[in-house]
Amino acid sequence: MRQPRFTVKERQSQLSSSLLTLNQKHNYWYLSICSDIYTESCIYRSLRSVVRKFVSCRGGGGERKLVTESTLKKEMGDGAEAVVDVDSKSTVSGGVVDVYGEDRATEDQLVTPWTVSVASGYSLLRDPHHNKGLAFTDKERDAHYLSGLLPPAVINQELQEKKFMQGIREYQLPIHKYMAMMELEERNERLFYKLLIDNVEELLPVVYTPTVGEACQKYGSIFRRPQGIYISLKEKGKILEVLKNWPDRNIQVIVVTDGERILGLGDLGCQGMGIPVGKLALYTALGGVRPSACLPITIDVGTNNEQLLKDEFYIGLKQRRTTGKEYHDFLHEFMTAVKQNYGEKVLVQFEDFANHNAFELLAKYRTTHLVFNDDIQGTAAVVLAGLVAGLRLLGGTLADHTFLFLGAGEAGTGIAELIALEMSKQSKTPVEENRKKIWLVDSKGLIVNARKESLQHFKKPWAHEHEPVTNLLDAVKAIKPTVLIGTSGVGKTFTKEVIEAVASFNEKPLIMALSNPTSQSECTAEEAYTWTEGRAIFASGSPFDPVEYNGKVYIAGQANNAYIFPGFGFGLVISGAIRVHDEMLLAASEALAGQVTEEHLAKGVIYPSFTKIRKISAHIAAKVAGKAYELGVATHLPRPENLVKYAESCMYTPTYRTYR
C-alpha cells in the first residue's frame, strides 16, 4: 500500500488553513460540502470537524460557492485514500453511508441539511428529507435563509403531529386519508414517519392494506409526483442508466413489482406502484430501515387489463403484456443492473408478480442475489408464526394437525412448504413425509395424484393419494382438517356450510381467511365466530372490527405480512447478508410467535399488538441476523454481542434534527 505523504493530522491542519484563507478572502461565500465527500475515504470522515466549521460561513453577498470532492482531494494530496485501510462505507445501519443523518446513533448530533449549494432556503422547504415546516427555530430560519418564508410561529413536532391527526380524522373516505398521508410524505418525511409510528394501528390500514388496493386502482387519477423508478420496455438496454437517475445511491432495500397480480385485484399494470411505495413506508416505520436507503420500482411490460388500456388517465404503457423470452430477458437485465449499481448486499423484494413468474424468478435469482418474495415467503412466515402461537391454545405439535388450504398459488404453496419445513425441523423427519399432512384445493378441486400430470410444477409436491374431490365443502368433509386456511383471493368462499363442517369435528377450529383486501376475504370475523358458536380461533389478512357474540367480545388476529417483512429485511441489512435461506424464515416465524403473550392468547388472539411492532421487528431482525451469522452469509463483522440491542440502535427514528 502506498504510504501517504502527510499524516491525517497534518492534512487536517493544511485543509483548515486553506479554508480559513479562502473564507477570509471571500467572506460572502457560502461553503457547502457534497455528500460524496463522506463516501470515498475514511480520511474525509476524520475531517468532519474541520469541514463543519466552514459549512455555515456566510456574509453579506448573495453569491455561493460549492466546495467539491475534487477540491478536497486536491487540498489533501494523492495519498489521502491510503491513510486508513478499512471499509469506509460501513456504518451501524447496514453498510452504507448515512447521507441524511438518519441513523439513531447520530440523533443528538447537529447536522447540516445542505448537500448541494443553494441560493435560497426556499429549496430547503421543498426537500422532504429536511423540511420541518413551522418547527424550524428562529436561529435555523436565520442561518438557512428561511426568514420571511414561514409564518412567525414556531411549533414543535408533537404539536404538528396532533394537528395533522386531527385533520386526517375528519376525512370520511380511507382513500382521502391515503392521499393526505402521501402528500405529507412528499412534503415532510420525518413527520410522516412520526405519525405512522405513533399511530400505527390507526394508520396502517390507510397506507397499506386494505386502502392501498383502492389507491392502486385509482393511481392514474391520484398520481402527483414520482415516488420511485418506473422501468418500462422503452428502457430496454439501458436499465443501468435509468437506475443511476435516482438521486440516492446508497440503497439497501428495493421492492419491485410488475403489477400483474396486485393483492386480489388482478392486473393493474404500472399502477401497481402503490404496493412498493406502501411496503417501503413500512420498512422504515416498522422495521427501521432509513427512508433514503429504500427504492420502490415498477417494471412496466404492459397490461392485459382492458379497462386500463382504454383509460385516458392510465399512466403506463398502453399495450398487452410482454411474455416469454422477452419478458425474462428484460427482468434479467434489471437484476443484473441492480447488482451492478447497488452491490451484492442490496435486498430485492419481489412483490405481486403472477404465479407463473413469481416462482421462476425466486428460484432463478435466490442463488445469485439477495432476493425475497413476500407473497411466497413473507406470507408463509407470518402464518407459520400464528400457527406456532395457536398451538398453545390447540395443543399438540404441528405434526399432530391436518391442514387444508383453499388456494394453491404463491401464498398457499409458500405457506404449506414452510409449515412442512418447520414440521421436519421439529420431528427430524423428511420434509416429503410432512407434506402429506397438508392438503390444497384449487379452482378444480382437491389436488390429488390423479391430477398430477396436468398440474403446474409448484403444485405437484402437494398431490397426494385420494379420490378426486371437486369442491371445498366435500374436501373439508373428506380431509377433516383442524386448520382451514384461505389464500384464494376470492371472497365469501368459506360459506356457512364449510365453517360449520370444520366446527363439527373440532372443539377449537383454527380458521385463517388471508386474502386481501377486505372484500376478497374468504369470510368475515363475524361469520367465523357466529357460525362456530364462538369456538373459532380466527385470523385474517385485512383487519376486522371486534365482534360481540353471546355477550362476549372476540378480537380477530391479523396475519399481516407487515409483522414479518420489515424486521426480516432489516435483519438482512444489519448483518450484511448476501443470500436468503429458509432457515432465516423459520427464525423470523419463531421470533414473532415468541412475542405472543398469555394475555393475547386469553383473548383468542394469536398475533401480538401492532403498537409494539418496532420492538417485535427488532427481535425478528436479531433472530434473522443471528441465523445469517450462523450460516456464514453475514458480511458485517465482527458479530455484535447483543443483536437485539444492536438492531434497536440501528433503527431509523423520525425525530427532527437540529440544523447548524
Task: Tell me the torsion sign for CA atoms 593, 374, 489, 286.
Answer: positive
| 442 backbone dihedrals φ, ψ, rounded to 5° | -110, -165
d(CA 352, CA 334): 17
Q: In what order do the strands lie in the sheet with 371-373?
A: 229-232, 294-300, 253-257, 347-350, 371-373
Q: What is the largest CA-CA distance in the chain?
A: 91
Active-site residue, selected from the candidate residues 30, 178, 193, 208: 208
Strand, coil or helix: what is 273?
helix
Return binding residues for (S)-malate: 261, 516, 560
Instruction: Give me the residues paired with residue 298 across strands.
Output: 230, 257
Which contiguous run of DSSP H or E holds residue 300? strand 294-300
**Could you tell me the three cell numbers for 631?**
450460516
d(CA 187, CA 164): 13
Contact 112, 56 (CB under 8 A): yes
Helices (H), ranges, 343-471: 355-365, 379-394, 410-427, 431-435
Cα torsion through 164, 165, 170, 173, rounded to 10:
100
Say which residue the cell 410561529 belongs to: 153
Return binding residues for a divalent metal cation: 351-352, 375
**Could you tell me the three cell numbers for 241?**
442508466
Active-site residue, selected from the candidate residues 132, 279, 437, 623: 279
**Could you tell me the three cell numbers for 444?**
378444480
314 belongs to the catalytic site: no
Contact 607, 616 (CB under 8 A): no
d(CA 570, CA 652): 11
Return binding residues: 261, 351-352, 375, 516, 560
208 belongs to the catalytic site: yes
Q: Which residues are marked as active site?
A: 208, 279
